[in-house]
A and B are shown apart, each in its own frame.
Chain A
Amino acid sequence: MGQEILAVIGTTLWMIVGIIGIFAIYLAVSGLCYFAHNLYSRRKESIKGYTSLKTVTFGDESSVTANRVASIAAVITLFLLWGIATGSKLLPPILPGPFVGDTSFEYTAINATGDTADATVFVRVHEAANKEAGKPTITGDGGAGFAKADTVIVPERRTKIIKVQNNDDGGKEPGFKVTAINGLAIAPKQTVPFKDGEVYMTAKGSLSVRPRTGVTMEALYLPPPELVWTRFVNVFQNGYLGVGLFENVFWSLIRVVIGFTLGCLFGIPLGFAMGLNSWLRGWFEPIVEFMRPVPPLALIPLIIIWFGIGEQGKISLLFLAALWIMTIAARAGVSGVNIAKVHAAYSLGASKRQILSKVILPNSLPEIFTGARVAMGVCWGTVVAAELVAAEKGAGKMIIAASKFQLTDIVIIGIIIIGIIGYGIDVLMRIAENRLVPWKGKG
């Protein structure tokens, strides 16, 4: 237990170092862009608005608006960093990539009788995607004496063990061993560099060829942007595992819409009931207050046990995710009604039903909208998580299936699409809010 905690602390410290490193790079680029932007914009004459005349801006939140140039530069920077780190072909090589091409090294062997001879190993390093790389050709004499030239094909970033003695005269006899690579002595469990990588000798005396891997990331971990784009076009046209991209997203969305709508349909009246009646408030409060902090994801196992992995389970889960949020939002909306407005409406002769529809409902709309935005966000996150666990179609199902086949590009496509749709939902909700509740924050 104590050791585990120590390990956690250690990991955390390393993570802090990593986070600081990443942030430092990103902020440094931001600083450079800021500097460049300032140089450029200083030359321009701009019309001064009222805000630009404020001298106190530090601490005045209203004078701080998002600089759109910064936003655009930030997104471009992200893509650039992505491209650089993965050695994208769209950019000139900035970080050294893995070695690809033909190379060779020479080994020196000693045989049972004590003679030495040299021979060349021709190495062909091919790109990971190129499955039909042929053997390299042996040029020159390759090897004089008992040692004979060898060829080896290695995929980029991989290593390959080669038994150079296999084709050498007397290579199988005891006493035969490789003693040097390019004139540098080597012994079992030692590594010797050559011009395009290194050679490691195994404990049993075989050579392991390791071409230089470079410092860019492998596509398995993070594919370069152009690969993701090609894959996107491919998945967009042909689908993945027989399900179209659009179909996957559509199914996720339809679940969210149904679950969210059900949540609103039951949550808002429930919230109103709790805000308007003491008995109902007391009756529902324990369950609402208990269920509110339970993350919907914690319900997934139970939902699967009860409803299986079909649509019913997922919609029930989303319904539960939205229900409590909408209930609490509607209740807060009712309690936020200025009592003077209710009094005024009664004095003007409104009935209870009219008070509910003409005063309480519109007055709680801002709160309900805030709740709806939260609920939509939670539902979207929950549907993806639920699909990760079990689904036939859906954005979450697409990425979990792709991850099992190490198709990182599809995973990234999925994440980007999920992010864009989540953002789109929020933007739509905000537009609807501005249209339907223009008085929000102005009452």
Chain B
Amino acid sequence: MSGLVIDDVSMTFELPNGSKVEALKNINLEIKEGELMSVLGPSGCGKTTFLNILAGFLAQTSGHMTINGHEINGPHPERGMVFQHGALFEWMNVSKNIGFGPKMKGTPQAKIDAKVNELLDIVGLQDFGEKMIYEMSGGMQQRVALARCLANEPDVILMDEPLGALDALTREKMQSLVLDIWKKTGKTIILITHSVEEALLLGERLIVMAPRPGRIHKEYRLPFAELGVGADLREVKRHKDFGPTRDEILNMIWDMEEEIMGRTEDA
């Protein structure tokens, strides 16, 4: 079966002082091909751990994860990742960064160049191919990171708070770009964020996670991502369901945070 299947995945580790941390407990998910899923939760709920396990950088302690029918064990170009701060290679120019994946596979240079040009177009950096990374703003760097990930044609794109470090205006533009790319390429995208609005806008499916142990708390199916494709995102935010859903989730997370604070104060 195609798509991503997460079957009862847990992850427990020991701290140096001997106490056990249940970072993730019994996660069950089935993500279909082409789905756009956002993951939300208070800090410490294990959402980044979850993504790192999906990417293959960490190992789960129990359960199974399969993509297109085969087990995930380690990083693989089928699962591309976009990091919070880009994690670009600043010793290469923009084109070389974007072409990194194909180059590693030994793709002929002409093909890489064509691909890079196409992607520069998609992310709106037509004239920046020769620029060095350190000459670009944070928003542009994130566009490069997106393009670099797309160049490898992954089946799944994992995004770890990719827009978290951007200013509000750039962020909005990038949200539109993510939606565009999702629609154009039909990729499965899993996006972690701590902005509730972003999670609503960029998730057909929204997972709210809860901490201690990290687990799935609630799941939503939302219409906003579909509405947002090619449209004004501010218009989408005025949708009658947007405000109430946002408030509901905010309250939910607020309660979790309170609970954590209360517990630490007790301890």
**Which residue of A343, A363, A443 contacts B57 across the interface (Cβ within 8 Å)?**
A343
CA distance A338 to B133 in the complex (A): 15
Which one of A62-70, A88-96, A200-208, A349-357 is at the B interface?
A349-357
* Contacting residues, chain A, for B242 (C-beta < 8 A): none
Check if A362 sits within 8 Å of B91, measured CB to CB: yes
Q: A442, B55: Cβ atoms under 8 Å?
A: no
**Once bound together, how far apart are the Cα atoms of A340 and B48, in whole Å?**
13
Q: What are the residues of chain A within 8 A of B132 when measuring CB–CB? A: 438-439
A350 to B103 CA separation, bound complex (whole angstroms): 9
Q: Report A-chain residues with C-beta under 8 Å of the C-beta of B77.
A: 347-349
Task: Output the least CB separation between B160 and chain A (Å).
Answer: 9
Q: How far is the CB of B69 from chain A (nearest CB, A)?
A: 20
Q: A340-B85, A439-B132 are in contact. Are A351 and B104 (CB under 8 A)?
A: yes
Q: Are A348 and B87 in contact (CB under 8 A)?
A: no
Q: With A349-B76, A439-B133 given, is the CB distance from A344 to B91 under 8 Å?
A: no
A246 at interface by CB-CB < 8 Å: no
In the complex, whether A359 has a CB less than 8 A from a CB of chain B is yes
Taking a contact as CB atoms closer than 8 A, the residue among A340, A358, A439, A443 that contacts B83 in the complex is A340
**A345 interfacial by beta-carbon distance below 8 Å:** yes
Cross-chain contact B81 with A350 (CB below 8 angstroms): no
Q: Does A341 lie within 8 Å of B87, measured CB to CB?
A: yes
Residues of A within 8 A of B55 (CB): 343, 347
Q: Are B80 and A340 in contact (CB under 8 A)?
A: no
Q: Tell whether, in the assembled complex, residue A343 and residue B105 are in contact, meaning their CB atoms are under 8 Å apart.
A: no
Q: Is B129 an interface residue (CB 8 A)?
A: no
Say if the beta carbon of A346 comes within 8 Å of chain B: yes
Residue among B76, B87, B90, B133 making CB contact with A344, cutoff 8 Å? B87
- Contact of B148 with A by CB under 8 A: yes
B75 contact from A340, A347, A442, Cβ within 8 A: A347
Across-interface contacts of B152 in A (CB, < 8 A): 348-349
Is A288 an interface position by the 8 A CB rule? no
Q: Which of B90, B91, B101 contacts A348 (CB 8 A)?
A: B101
Residue A81 CB within 8 A of the other chain: no
Q: Are A345 and B100 in contact (CB under 8 A)?
A: yes
Q: Does B79 contact A (CB under 8 A)?
A: yes
Q: Which residues of B contact A359 (CB under 8 A)?
A: 89
Contact pick for B90, options A340, A346, A350, A439, CB 8 Å: A439
Shortest distance in angstroms between A146's beta carbon and chain B's nearest beta carbon? 97
**CB of A365 closer than 8 Å to a CB of B:** yes
The answer to whether the Cβ of B134 comes within 8 Å of any Cβ in the partner chain is: yes
Please report the C-alpha to C-alpha distance between residue A442 and residue B104 in the assembled complex, in whole angstroms.
Answer: 25
| A341–B75 CB distance below 8 A | no
Complex Cα–Cα for A344 and B98 (A): 12
CA distance A344 to B90 in the complex (A): 13
Q: How far is the CA of A52 from the CA of B84 in the complex (A)?
A: 37
Q: Chain B residues near A358 (CB, 8 Å)?
A: 89, 100, 104
Number of interface residues of B (CB under 8 A): 28
The answer to whether A348 touches B83, judged by C-beta atoms less than 8 angstroms apart, is no
Whether A343 touches B81, Cβ cut-off 8 Å, given contacts A338-B87, A365-B91, A438-B132, is yes
Task: Tell me the minimal C-beta distance from B73 to chain A in angstroms.
Answer: 13
Binary contact track A17-32/B, C-beta < 8 Å → 1, others 0: 0000000000000000
CA–CA, A107 to B249, complex, Å?
A: 115
By beta carbon, the residue of chain B nearest A363 is: B91
A347-B90 CB under 8 A given contacts A340-B85, A439-B134, A443-B134: no
Residues of B within 8 A of A442 (CB): 90, 134
B91 in contact with A347 (CB, 8 Å): no
| B100 neighbours in A (Cβ, 8 Å) | 345, 348, 350, 358
A443–B75 alpha-carbon span in the complex (Å): 24
Chain A residue numbers with a CB within 8 Å of B89 are 341, 345, 358-359, 362
Q: Given the complex of chains A and B, what is the CA–CA distance between A365 and B80 in angstroms? A: 27
Distance between B65 CB and nearest chain A CB, rounded to angstroms: 15
Chain B stretch 105-146: residues in CB contact (< 8 A) with chain A: 105, 132-134
Chain B: CB-nearest residue to A348: B101
Name the B residues within 8 Å of A348 (CB-CB). 77, 80, 100-101, 104, 148-149, 152
A438 to chain B, nearest CB (A): 7
**Measured between C-beta atoms, what is the minimum distance from B126 to chain A in Å?**
22
- Chain A proximity of B102: nearest CB distance (Å): 9
- Give the distance in Å from the alpha carbon of A234 to the alpha carbon of B152 in the complex: 68
Chain A 16-58 interface residues, beta-carbon cutoff 8 Å to B: none
Across the two chains, which residue of chain A brings its CB closest to B152?
Answer: A348
Task: For the complex formed, measure the closest distance between the CB of A98 and the CB atoms of chain B, giving whole angstroms.
Answer: 63
Within 8 A of B (CB), among A218-263: none
Report the bound CA distance from A362 to B100 in whole Å. Answer: 14
Across the interface, which residues of B come within 8 angstroms of A345, CB to CB?
89, 100, 104
Q: How far is the CB of B174 from chain A (nearest CB, A)?
A: 18
Cα distance A438–B132 in the bound complex, in angstroms: 10
Q: Which residues of B contact A350 (CB under 8 A)?
A: 100, 104
| Closest B residue, CB atoms, query A344 | B87
Is B87 in contact with A340, judged by CB distance below 8 angstroms? yes
Task: Find chain B residues with CB under 8 A from A362 CB.
Answer: 89, 91
A-to-B contact residues, CB < 8 Å: 338, 340-341, 343-351, 354, 358-359, 362-363, 365, 437-439, 442-443
Nearest 7 pairs of A and B residues by beta carbon: A349-B77, A340-B87, A442-B134, A348-B101, A346-B75, A362-B91, A439-B90
12 contacts between A and B (CB under 8 A): A340-B83, A341-B88, A344-B87, A347-B55, A347-B56, A347-B76, A347-B81, A348-B80, A349-B101, A350-B104, A437-B91, A442-B134
Q: A340-B87, A348-B152 are in contact. List 4 more A-B contacts (CB 8 A).
A: A340-B83, A347-B75, A348-B148, A358-B104
